[in-house]
Amino acid sequence: MILPSKPLAIYVDVDDTICKTNGMDYPNSQPIMENIQKVNELYDAGHHIVPYGRPAAKAASTGRS
């Protein structure tokens, strides 16, 4: 993976990108480890990871992560 040298804010969709979810059954979501590993590499390279999607939006609105 070629990583940019300048730190970026990278927005990562939660649904079907880092986890497989059946409808809105978030407690039983299954991680997609290959994609999670890629996101971790970006984070380790100094980039700011911003999760978004329904679960992230709900957490942001309630102040919970």
Tell me the per-residue pLDDT of 10-40, one tens digit each, with 9 for 90 and over: 999 988 899 998 888 888 999 999 999 999 9
Cα 15 versus chain centre, distance: 9
Report yes or no on 28 lying in a domain. yes
Residues whose CB falls within 8 Å of the CB of residue 21, separated by 6 or more in sequence, listed in order: 15, 28, 29
pTM of this prediction?
0.70
Report yes or no on 3 lying in a domain. no
Nearest CA among 55, 61, 46 for reference residue 3: 46
Report yes or no on 26 lying in a domain. yes
Task: Work out how many domains the chain is built from and give that number.
Answer: 1
Report yes or no on 55 lying in a domain. yes
Report yes or no on 38 lying in a domain. yes
Report yes or no on 1 lying in a domain. no
Q: Does residue 2 or residue 64 have the better pLDDT?
A: 2
Range of the domain at 15: 9-62
The three-state secondary structure class of 50 is strand
Contact between 7 and 50 (Cβ < 8 Å): no
Contact between 16 and 55 (Cβ < 8 Å): no
Q: What value does the mean pLDDT take over residues 59-64?
A: 52
Report yes or no on 4 lying in a domain. no
